Amino acid sequence: MTTASTTAIVGALSCQKNSFLKTFNTKVVSSYEFIPPLTSKDKQNKKSKSNKTKEFGVEFQDTILFPEGGGQPYDKGTITILPENKVIEVKSVLRDKLKAVHLVDEMIEPGTEVTLNVDWARRIDIMQQHTGQHLLSAVFDTFGLETLSWSMGEEINYIELPEKINDELLGEVQERVNQLIVEGIKITVVTPDQHGHEVDVSHLPDDYDLSKGIIRIVKIGELDANPCCGTHLTSTSQIQSIALLHQAPIRGGHSRLFFTCGARVANVLRKEHEILRNVATNQLSCAIEAVGEKVELLNLNTRKSNSTINALLKELAGLEASKIYQNFKDGKKVAYVYRTDLPDYLTAVNKELLNLINGDDSSVDLSKNQTLVLLHGAPSNGGSIKITGPEASSIQTELKSKLTNLKGGGKGTSFQGKITKFEKGELESVLKYLDSICT
C-alpha cells in the first residue's frame, strides 16, 4: 500500500506510473456537486435535469483509478474513508483537463484520508485489451496497414484498417502476435526526451495542456512506440493471447477487424462453443462437426420449400384474380380481398388481376369502372389497406370513420394506408361494410 504526498496530474497519476497498484492511500483535495455537460437530449427535455440523481466529483492528491481517455474506459473501485472504514463506490472517473474527477453519490470532506481500491478484475482485463491492441496494430504496421481507429467493447474489440484483410494475411498476423506474446517482450513507458525521437501528438485531446502535462510513450521493445495515457501491462506475455475473429466492411473500403485478448479469449470460446453445442444437440440433432453440413442442407430445403410456396401462392392468387375479373365483367363494381397473414398474397392478386385486365379488351378498368380493395391485418398486429378505382375516395372516407388508427393518403383513384391497431370490433365492422358494397 502506497501513501500519496503530492498532487498529481493526468499523465503522472500513480495508476499510470504503476498500473499494478491495487490499493492506495491518499487525501481528498476537493469535493463538489458534479453537473455534467448537457447532451442534445437533455437540451430537448427540460425535465431531465431534475430527474437525475445528484452526483459529486471528488479529486485526490493522487489516484490509482484511471480516468476515461485514449480509447480506454475508466476504472471502477471503492473509496474507504479512514479511520471509520466507510466504503463508497466510485461510479466513474473522468478527466477534466489535467485533473482526475471521481464521481460518487455523496460529498467527501476535503482533507479526509482515504484508501482507494481498484476493481482489479476490470483493470487487468482492460490492460490486456489495450496493450493487445497496441501489439496488434504494431504488427499490422509492419505490413504497411495503419490502424485508423479502435474501440474496446465489453467482450469484443475492433480496429479500423484501411482495407479488408485477406485470410492469408490474417493468419500470418494471428500467428505473429501470439508469437510475440510468447516471447514476453518488455513494455515500458518513457517521456519524449527518453524516447529520443519526434512524437506525433496529433491524437492527444485538444483540452490536454501540453505545456503543463506529460506525454507518455508506451514502448513494446523495439517493435512499437506510441503516445498513450492508458494503463498498460509490463510484458507482452501478460496479454496471454489474441484471437482475430471477423471483419466488417465500412465506409470508404475500410474494414473493422474484430478481436479479443487475454482471459476474454477463453470466455468467448466457451460461450461460442456452448451456442454451437446447443444448436448441434437441441436444434439439429447432430455432432458439432456436422453443423455446417446440416445448416447447408436446411438452407437448400428451405429454398426449395419457399419456391414451392411461391408457386402455390401465385397459382392461388391467379385463381382469386380470375374470380374477381369475372365478377367485374359480370357487372360488379367493387371487390375486396382480405388476409390476416401473407401480405405478399395480396400483392400477387393485384399483379395477376392487372395482367388479366391488360390482356383483354373488356370494360374492366380500375382507373374508370371498377374498384379493388386489398386489406391485410389482424386485431393484435394492425395491418394495411390499398384501394384502387373510382370509388377509392368514398371508400377510404368510410373506412376512416370506422378505423381509429388508419393513417394514409392518395389521390383520385388510389389510396394506401396503415392501421397501427384495430380497436375492439373495428375489423368486424370493416369487413361487414366491405361485404355490403361488394354484393
pLDDT category, 85, cuts 50, 70, 90? very high
pLDDT in tens, 132-188: 999 999 999 999 999 999 999 999 999 999 999 999 999 999 999 999 999 999 999
Question: Using CA atoms in the order 208, 209, 214, 219, what is the torsion angle rounded to 10 degrees?
Answer: 40
Q: pLDDT tens across 346-362, in order?
A: 999 999 999 999 988 77
Task: Give the domains, in start order, of the chain with CATH numbers.
Answer: 14-35+53-118 (2.40.30.130), 123-282 (3.30.980.10), 320-437 (3.10.310)
Residue 227 and residue 201 in contact, taking contact as beta carbons nearer than 8 Å: yes
Contact (Cβ atoms closer than 8 angstroms) between residue 190 and residue 217: yes
C-alpha distances in Å from residue 139, one per residue of 10, 53, 125, 172, 187: 29, 46, 21, 10, 15
Closest among 229, 211, 221, 239 to 128, alpha carbons compared: 239
Percent of the chain with pLDDT over 90: 81
pLDDT of residue 211: 76
Q: How far apart are CA 217 and CA 260, in angstroms?
A: 23
pLDDT in tens, 385-413: 999 999 999 999 999 999 999 999 988 89
Provide the pLDDT for residue 359: 85
Edge-to-edge strand ranges of the sheet holding 217-220: 187-190, 217-220, 224-227
pLDDT in tens, 97-122: 999 999 999 999 999 999 999 999 99
Residue 127 has pLDDT above 90, yes or no: yes
pLDDT of residue 47: 57
Gyration radius (Cα) of the chain, Å: 33
SS3 216: coil
Is residue 388 within 8 Å of residue 410, measured between CB atoms? no
* Residue 6 pLDDT: 56
Q: How many CB atoms lie within 10 A of CB 352?
A: 21
Residue 99 near residue 10 (C-beta atoms within 8 A): yes
**What phi and psi values does residue 423 have, to the nearest 5 degrees?**
-75, 170
Predicted TM-score of the model (pTM): 0.75
Position 322: which residue type? S
Q: What is the pLDDT of residue 433?
A: 95
Average pLDDT over all residues of the chain = 91
Tell me what percent of the residues of the chain surpass a pLDDT of 70: 92
CB count in 10 Å sphere of residue 335: 23
**pLDDT tens track for 279-328:** 999 999 999 999 999 999 999 999 999 999 999 999 999 999 999 999 99
Mind listing the pLDDT tens digit for each residue in 1-44?
444 445 899 999 999 999 999 999 999 999 999 988 766 666 56
User: Which comes out higher in pLDDT, residue 70 or 345?
Assistant: 345
Check residue 195 and give its pLDDT: 55
Residue 258 has pLDDT above 70, yes or no: yes
Number of other residues whose CB lies within 10 A of the CB of residue 8: 21
Rounded CA separation 93/95 (Å): 7
Decide: 36 and 94 in contact? Cβ < 8 Å: no
Which residues are bridge partners to 71 per DSSP? none
Q: Euclidean distance between the first and final Cα of the chain, in Å?
A: 91
**Nearest to residue 85, comparing CAs of 112, 105, 61, 56?**
112
Q: What is the pLDDT of residue 40?
A: 60
Mean pLDDT of 218-243: 95
Pair 117, 23: CB distance under 8 Å: yes
pLDDT tens column, 222-231:
999 999 999 9
